[in-house]
Amino acid sequence: MTFAFFDCLVLNTVMAARALTRRYDKVLRPFEISVVQFTVLMTVKNSPRMSVNSMAARISMDRTTLLRNLEPLRKRGLVIAGRPEKGNVRHFELTGKGAALLEEILPLWRDSQDELRALVADPGPEDFLGGLRALTAGEAREHADA
């Protein structure tokens, strides 16, 4: 069986990841937060007092990128740096303002999750590729219309 370059799962996965990021960034734009920052906030919420290194590993992000995304959240008062119990292990905690923002965002996030899951429901290899293409095609149409 011969595969064309544009049938490459890696290429289509990377394109779909970019489309997903842009789609979620668009949903989150009114809240002045990026999808990466949303991911970081949710990780802080769901893993209180987790060290920065452990949190970075949990979301497959390097430590410096995580800290770079935590800083604007800290400046906005959405997270605070927690005091280490011992040593110099850094961690962050969600503030009331951060928790309130997440409560506002979560219904939109859930709606987006449902929509995207429908695109890639129960895929076999070809269906998976088709789902990735459907996702990126929708994104391409939105950019063309803008």
- Cα separation, 96 vs 79, whole angstroms: 9
Whether the pLDDT of residue 129 is over 90: the answer is no
CA nearest 102: which of 52, 51, 33, 26?
A: 33
Q: Mention every residue, 6+ apart, whose C-beta is less than 8 A from residue 135.
A: 16, 19, 20, 116, 119, 120
140 has a pLDDT exceeding 60: no
Confidence of residue 136 (pLDDT cuts 50, 70, 90): confident
Nearest-angstrom CA–CA distance, 97 and 117: 30
Q: Which is more confident, 49 or 121? A: 49
Would you say domain 18-113 falls under CATH 3.90.1150.10? no
Q: What is the mean pLDDT of residues 36-60?
A: 92
Domain boundary assignment for the chain = 18-113
Tens digits of residue pLDDT in 50-104: 899 999 999 989 999 999 999 999 999 999 998 766 667 788 999 999 999 999 9
CB 75 within 8 Å of CB 98: no
